[in-house]
Structure 1
Amino acid sequence: MTAILRTRGARGPLVLVAGGACLVLSLVVAAGLGSADIPPLDVARTVGAHLGGPWETPSPLRDSIVWDLRLPRVLLAALTGAGLALCGTVLQATTRNPLADPYLLGVSSGASTGAVAVIVLGIGGGVFALPGGAFAGALTAFACVLLLLGRALGSATRVVLAGVMVSQLFSALTSLIVVLSGDADRTRAVTFWLLGSLARADWTLVGVCAVGTTAGMALLRLYAGHLDALAFGREVAAGVGFEVRRAEPVLYVIAAVVTGCLVAASGAIGFVGLLVPHAARALVGGRHAVLLSAAALLGAVFVVWADTAARTVFAPQEMPVGVLTALIGVPAFAVLLRRRTGAP
């Protein structure tokens, strides 16, 4: 086992370099795919020209398709996948629960309630109404979890139970609002958002999510040592000198804020934060200094291609990306569950 862990750790830099190259290639190729395919070279020229490079842009139509429509969506998909995988990795270590995901803290249900309140009840107005309402709902749900936990934040079991209770509460509120609205068009809009969709992507959302995901990554890397120790239990972490009582609340808050920011922009895209950390761990081992970056890269690539398939395979209709990640994630989750339970 020790030899295996050393081998995985040694190949960590190679995995990160390969993952980074794969992500860049995926962004360029995916931005060119759609109802009107655009060659990767034209995509690269467009991006380079907008970034101040010496290249000339292709035709104005292609330039607008790439820069105004597809590139924001592709980048938002990458940021969403990276952030969800990052938060899932942190929560699996913090709760010592391999089945934990970013929605463990009730953030997704709270964001859904906030978004539904904006769509159905017409609360708020302007471009930021929907993501703003979703983010406010996410933080409200997380605050409810903290109130339920009180000083028992260090109990992984209570964290899970509090998250489940708050999720059920806000899911019920969401359903109540939808039922009382009685508007078929608004109900369809709500359903599409709840299943996860990047159709509303624009440069503003990309900027907000980039700040949230980048800041979250930077802060969480500072706690890589804490996460390594917490994965073996609170007692072990405290025994080797880490201040567990101070670290755990910070880790939960970071995960909740990053997840709330991403869910506010894209809806609830399931299974990314649950499965990608396990895939990254199988590639690079359990050292979080490398694992966090590997999970973020894998999550970004996964959601970029999942969203690309969701908007192209069923054209002219578009499938919510959360449906596609669930179709992929459920079989993978079943394999994971069978391995952990030792089923034949």
Structure 2
Amino acid sequence: MRLKLYVYGGAAMLLLAASIVISLSIGSAALPLGEVWGILLDQLPWAGNGDAKWDESSVAIVTQVRLSRILLAVLVGACLSLAGAGFQGVLRNPLADPFTLGVASGCSVGAAFLILFGYQTILGIWSIPIVAFATGMVTLVIVFTLARARGEMNVETLILSGVIVQAFLGAFVSFMVSLSSGVVNEIMFWLMGSISGRGWEHVKVVLPFLFVGIPILIRYAQPLNLFIFGERHASHLGIHVERTKLIVLLTSTLLTAVAVSMTGVVGFVGLVVPHLVRLLVGPDYRLIIPLSAIGGSIYLVWADTLARTALSPKEIPLGVVTALIGAPFFAYLLYRRKMKQGGSI
């Protein structure tokens, strides 16, 4: 397992590094890759070349405009993919993610409420993440309550409950949009998802949550592996089932909340990436969790690059790009799952 992790992880990290550098060179002001590398190296105190002379506008584009945006895409992609892997592990279902379960919509309600009433700066930049996490957790409790019957919780019923709650909360957010006047564009732009206009302060907010979330989910990777045999069997093997579910779901919701609060609604990342990683390396969550974090970063870097360059100088909302990719993939998963169960379409 370790060898597999080192091989796939090393390859993924190299691909991520290459993706970041290539993305930094793509835009309305195209920059040569060699120049991007040189500018980045000059930012390192131990590797910088004091004699290197780069155009000031190129340095500003790389370090002040693009780099913070791309690093935020890296962090948000990792958060959403980790959250998706956590939900799929607990629920033992590849169709589960924060969006299909309505958690992201719950986070959206809190954020839209703050924007509507002008409270988004009451606690500084932390206002929306805190409220988004609280409303996301309330949503998760409601979904689980709806899905549980006679002490048991069917996975298909859980996903259906998530879809119902998501639809209701989506309507509630639309209602708040209809009430807004001066901030309607801000709410709508946030609901479509985007990294445009984000800076280093947003990177600093997401980073500590990711540093906390990754080790927690890795710590519970092996218990999640045992969940595939059922909760009762996992309990017989010494796993504290309820505690594991609570910690993984809390961590996944927290990662979703901080990601959604920074970039708005960017869907399907937590659905697509963990499933692709599972197809590549197998069902071992000791591999799926760390590789999903790297894979989500790569996925969102390229999705954001496409969003800002496809119709340049106009920018496509990032959530639109991920939905255009993720929705057909979700339909494919549904089709494949139905075929495995002997159904027909």
Q: Does 1:30 align with 2:26?
A: no
- Aligned equivalent of 1:212, options 197, 209, 212: 209
Question: Counterparts of 1:92-241 in structure 2 under 5 Å?
Answer: 92-125=88-121, 128=124, 132-133=127-128, 135-146=130-141, 149=144, 155=153, 157=155, 160=159, 163-164=162-163, 166-181=165-180, 183=181, 186-241=183-238
CA contact (8 A) 1:107 1:139 kept: no
Instruction: Give secondary structure in 1 for the equivalent of 2:99.
Output: helix
Residues 1-344 of structure 1 aligned to structure 2 (within 5 Å): 11-52=4-45, 53-55=47-49, 56=52, 58-125=54-121, 128=124, 132-133=127-128, 135-146=130-141, 149=144, 155=153, 157=155, 160=159, 163-164=162-163, 166-181=165-180, 183=181, 186-342=183-339, 343=344
Deviations 1:9-55 (A, max 9, x none): 97543222211100000001101211101122222222222231322
Alpha-carbon shift at residue 108 of structure 1 (Å): 1.6
Q: 1: distance between equivalents of 2:255 and 2:228?
A: 21
| SS of residue paired to 2:29 | coil
CA RMSD of aligned residues (A): 2.6
Residue-by-residue CA offset, 1:59-109 (whole Å, 9 max, x unaligned)? 221111111110011111111111111111111110122210123554322
Q: Using a 3 Å threshold, how does the CA distance of structure 1 residues 139 and 159 change in structure 2: closer, same or farther?
A: farther
- Which TM-score applies when normalising by structure 2? 0.88
When the two structures are aligned, how many residues end up with a matched partner? 334
| Structure 2 unaligned blocks of 5 or more | none
Q: Which amino acid aligns with 2:271?
A: L
Q: Which 10-residue stretch deviates more, 36-45 or 250-259?
A: 36-45
Give the secondary-structure state (helix, strand or coil) at the position aligned to 1:315: coil
For 1:124 and 1:326, the matched residues in 2 are separated by: 26
Deviates more, 1:154-163 or 1:42-51: 154-163
For the 8 Å contact 1:112–1:267, the answer to whether it is kept is yes
In 2, Cα distance between equivalents of 1:101 and 1:331: 15
Secondary structure of the corresponding residue to residue 102 of structure 1? coil
- Native 8 Å contact 1:30 1:304 kept in 2: yes
Structure 1: tracts of 5 or more residues without a match: 1-5
- TM-score, normalising length: structure 1: 0.88
**2-structure distance, mates of 1:114, 1:235:** 36
Is the 1:114–1:134 Cα contact (8 Å) retained in structure 2?
Answer: no
1:125 shift after superposition: 3.1
